[in-house]
Amino acid sequence: MSIRRRTYPEIVENLLTHLTGGVSAEAHPYPSGNSEPQRIILRAGSPTTVRVVSIHGSVAGEPHRFRAGSDYRLLDDGRSVEWAEAGDRPDAGTLVHVNYLTGSTDPSDIDLHVGSVVRTLAESIALELARVSAQLEATYRAGFIDTATGASLDKVVALLGIDRIRGSRAVGEIEFTRSPAGSGEITIPAGTRVRTAGDIDIEYATTATVTMHAAQTSILAPARDLEANDPLPADALVVLPAPIAGIADVTNPAPTALPTRDENDRELRVRAKNFLHGSERATLAALRAVFAREQITADITEVQGRPGMIEIAPHADSLPPDQLQRLRTAIDLVRPAGVHVELLDAAAPRRVDLQLLLTSDQLSTEADLRAAQRTVRDSVAEYFAQLPVGASGSLNALVGRVLAVPVIQDVQLLAAAVDGTDVLDTAAGVLHIAGHPTVLGELRLVDPQLATSLVLDLEQPGDVDLADRVQIEAALTSTIAALNESNDRRDTPLSTRTLSFGKLLLVTPLPNKPAASLADHEAHPGANPLPTAASVTPYVARFRVTLANGQSYVLEADDDRYVLTPFERLGVQSVVVEEIAAP
């Protein structure tokens, strides 16, 4: 700090030393810059220097009077003052002020005793000067964010467009969730902004810095509303305008509420220091943050051969007019001066369909395995959403994300397609999807420990013979066992893996239709045609195939079919026969 408060004792000593003809407040830097930085060379010193009256400076930012003998000593040459090894030292880069008497000083004709006229006048002047010095220091400190307090701090942070959050503004807790592929410690600084989704733009800012340790998957941080809005319900704050590496999701798990106190100086100071990180302007990161606030991605490129021209291509199926206007307004606020930004038409992302074979821990429970599949799905979806348009998909990156889930021990990528076109290049270790924005399409996760369930809902009128539920379940179980055996390899023919409504109906015994062999149909399809929904009337069959992740497919019409993924295992969960009123 360039201004140091002069205390009353220091000013008195300066005045009295000057009145007696000595040298007062001679300034010296510390370190001195000499070959011996632990020494002060007095400018008016001589072999006849009588003594050093006092040395004043600052220690730890506060005024300090150094002690003769303990902190320093005058050397025999009468010109050098040496700092003691074990004593107090001034703050580096500050000035010390030395009062000392020389041989020419003759104070005998001046009465400096306490109560004398000269001493009383000097002390009165010193008292007023000390008050002015304290006021100058307070004024100086009020101009810096680290030292300003109260109303002065309000004025400093106002330069950044920040106001102190009053007690009338809602507070709550924000939960930050780690990305499945994230690892290590993640620090979330105070002042991190989180906002609502959609048209209602309400922003909260965290009021404390929190660190998510390596073993944690989520962490809570206190936050306050930046404006005087009504409290929000749970799960309303879900957008992180400035993404944080390793953070996948954000939300407020509980409703926010109105507090009873204003934001204190410490909270305001920390929030203001972190404000600039989230409010940068005239950078590519600022432009990306505009689209992050709207929860969409975009390609931001500098046009070659056209200096000062930037093109932005949003990745979205479409942009509603109100969202498009918000984007244009926000872009104008953050774009660099003199740079033209052209917002191109939205480019619909291409959906990448994947089939993955997982090998999981055999000691894991079914609940753990299902949770692991959800984590895998979220991690893979995040990978494609963040993949640059000009980049091909990396098999190593995908495998790494999947294996980061603790329950998963191994993974094989069975198939990858975009709009039905195979994009998997195992030899090169890439997915050929460069040149287009991508999102995850259908993800088939196959785990031999989690069977795909098959349920049959059979409706029949009450005036016909009752279908035998036990017989139907036994027939389906036998057929499914054969299908699982034939599907236990990668090169199983597509026709074998295709499970149609007609095939399932063929093997289902009904009072008006006996069960038939699926193998006989495949060997002699002409002699053993598939039944239709109309051919088994008045019975109505509805087969439901449910994957381990909860996704279901219903087969109830003649054209309905479900294609098994290689190594996928089916299991008959239940057969339900329900009687309905006759039409």
Cβ contacts of 399 within 8 Å, gap of 6 or more: 411, 413
DSSP string, 255-276: --B--SS---HHHHHHHHHHHH
| Cβ atoms of 552 and 545 closer than 8 Å | yes
Question: Using alpha carbons only, what angle is made at residue 193 by residues 190 and 195, rounded to the nearest 5 degrees?
Answer: 150
d(CA 398, CA 381): 10
| Cβ atoms of 225 and 204 closer than 8 Å | yes
Query: For residue 469, with 0-12 CB atoms within 10 Å meaning exposed, 13-18 middle and 19 or more buried, which class applies?
Result: middle
Residue 405, helix vs strand vs coil? coil
- In this prediction, residue 106 carries a pLDDT of 65
Cβ contacts of 32 within 8 Å, gap of 6 or more: 39, 40, 41
Q: Which of 198, 206, 196 is nearest to 230 (CA)?
A: 196
Looking at the DSSP bridge assignments, the partners of residue 83 are: 72
Write the pLDDT tens digit of every residue in 121-135. 999 999 999 999 989
| Cβ atoms of 112 and 119 closer than 8 Å | yes
d(CA 81, CA 67): 12
- In this prediction, residue 184 carries a pLDDT of 79
Ranges of the chain whose pLDDT falls below 70? 1-2, 33-37, 45-49, 104-108, 181-182, 199, 260, 274-282, 582-583
Q: Which helix (H) or strand (E) holds 381?
A: helix 366-386
Residue 362 CA to its chain's centroid (Å): 33
> Residue 453 half-sphere exposure, CB side, CA atoms within 13 Å?
11
Residue 333 CA to its chain's centroid (Å): 24
Q: Which of 383, 386, 409, 408 is nearest to 395 (CA)?
A: 383
Query: For residue 465, with 0-12 CB atoms within 10 Å meaning exposed, 13-18 middle and 19 or more buried, which class applies?
Result: exposed
Q: Which of 558, 554, 553, 555 is nearest to 533 (CA)?
A: 558
Q: Which of 131, 135, 155, 133 is nearest to 144 (CA)?
A: 155
| Cβ atoms of 84 and 72 closer than 8 Å | yes
CB atoms within 10 A of CB 170: 21
Strands of 39-41's sheet, edge to edge? Answer: 39-41, 80-83, 72-74
Q: For residue 538, is the peptide bond before it cis, meaning its omega torsion is within 30 degrees of 0?
A: yes
Looking at the DSSP bridge assignments, the partners of residue 95 are: 29
Instruction: State the average pLDDT for the chain.
Output: 86
| Cβ atoms of 49 and 41 closer than 8 Å | no
d(CA 111, CA 442): 98
Strands of 393-394's sheet, edge to edge? Answer: 393-394, 430-431, 424-425
- In this prediction, residue 1 carries a pLDDT of 47
Q: For residue 307, is the peptide bond before it cis, meaning its omega torsion is within 30 degrees of 0?
A: no
Cβ contacts of 100 within 8 Å, gap of 6 or more: 17, 22, 23, 26, 42, 44, 45, 49, 50, 51, 52, 53, 74
Cβ contacts of 320 within 8 Å, gap of 6 or more: none
Looking at the DSSP bridge assignments, the partners of residue 357 are: 412, 446
d(CA 238, CA 234): 10
Q: Which of 285, 313, 286, 289 is nearest to 299 (CA)?
A: 313
> What six digits make up the tokens of 142?
């009020």
Q: What residue ranges do the domains of the chain occupy?
A: 8-138, 160-278, 284-343, 350-446, 452-580
> Residue 330 half-sphere exposure, CB side, CA atoms within 13 Å?
19
| Cβ atoms of 448 and 362 closer than 8 Å | no
| Cβ atoms of 518 and 485 closer than 8 Å | no
d(CA 252, CA 223): 10
Cβ contacts of 250 within 8 Å, gap of 6 or more: 174, 175, 176, 177, 194, 237, 238, 239, 240
> What six digits make up the tokens of 443?
């993800």
d(CA 3, CA 429): 64
